[in-house]
Amino acid sequence: MKYGIIGTGAIGGYYGAKLAHGGQEVHFLLHRDYEYVKQNGLQVDSCDGSFHLDNVNVYQHSADMPKCDVVLVGLKSVNNGMLKELLTPLVGADTLVVLIQNGIGVEDDVQKMFPGVQLAAGLAFICSAKTEPGVVNHQCYGSINLANYSCRDEAKMQAVVDEFRAAGIETGLVEYNEARWKKAVWNMPFNGMTVALHTQTDKLLKNPSTRLLIREQMMEVVGAAQHLGVKNLDEGFVEKMITMTDEMTPYSPSMRLDYDFHRKMEIYYLYTRPLEIAREAGFPMRKLEMLEAELRFLEAENL
């Protein structure tokens, strides 16, 4: 299939490059490093084996890109207002748009922008950063769960999963709400706490006080998800996420990097929206509500 990448950063750049390296036709939309990648190609420095793409299909404007079978959106959700302009040239009658974005409620809002477009969620479990022009630094992990939101063709979803796997990407096909809330179990504590305490993931878990707080925040997310009827999410998953993070390279999540570079943080979909949903369902997440308030203050002081 023909793939388009909107947002060739740490995440979109990694998965797009893996697909291209595996033999798929991939078209990349770039911004700051367009000229560099056009001349020098795209480099992936990876814990699983580094590689370089010499001849990359790169574009500075989405209007110049072809219609694609699958579009991977790796933009930060704070930039979703740009999607109407960026996505429209790539989308045909049967195009599947996969939103590899953080948070809860993203697909609901994008579907309102594109009522007829088929959407899926992409939930990446990866430590990756774009450290310099044309270079993706993949530190560890790299799996992704895909979840059908409004795709009319289950066979197409499976075909995408198969092509991801053929490219060496560990890929699962998971029920939509389960996929989104499972990712929130890790995202909601670690993204905000690394900003609020100006630290990294490893230090949060090495300190007994913050380790306990992280676990309590994770359990709030699990409790809210269970209250909403989400399946396959329990205390065992929390322990799995904590163990996984214990084994990770010290890591600054995307929200911490956004804060450090004085960029707008993804507070709305990562915190505000899921907190509203949980509150309306009768299961307020008090510790995470406090964290959201702290993040709002820090962002206002930082921008």
**Which residues are marked as active site?**
183
Residue 49 Rama label (left phi>0; alpha psi -120 to 50; beta): left
Rounded CA-CA distance 1/180 in Å is 25
Give every CB contact of residue 154 below 8 A, 6+ residues apart in sequence: 148
Element spanning 213, H or E: helix 208-227
Phi, psi torsion values for 293, nearest 5 degrees: -60, -40
Q: Which of 119, 149, 169 is nearest to 11 (CA)?
A: 169
Q: Which two tokens stand for residue 267?
A: 């507070």
What is the largest distance, in Å, between two alpha-carbon atoms of the chain?
55
Q: Which of 195, 217, 156, 222 is nearest to 1 (CA)?
A: 156
Give the side-chain half-sphere CA count within 13 A for 198: 5
Q: Which two tokens stand for residue 297?
A: 């203050």
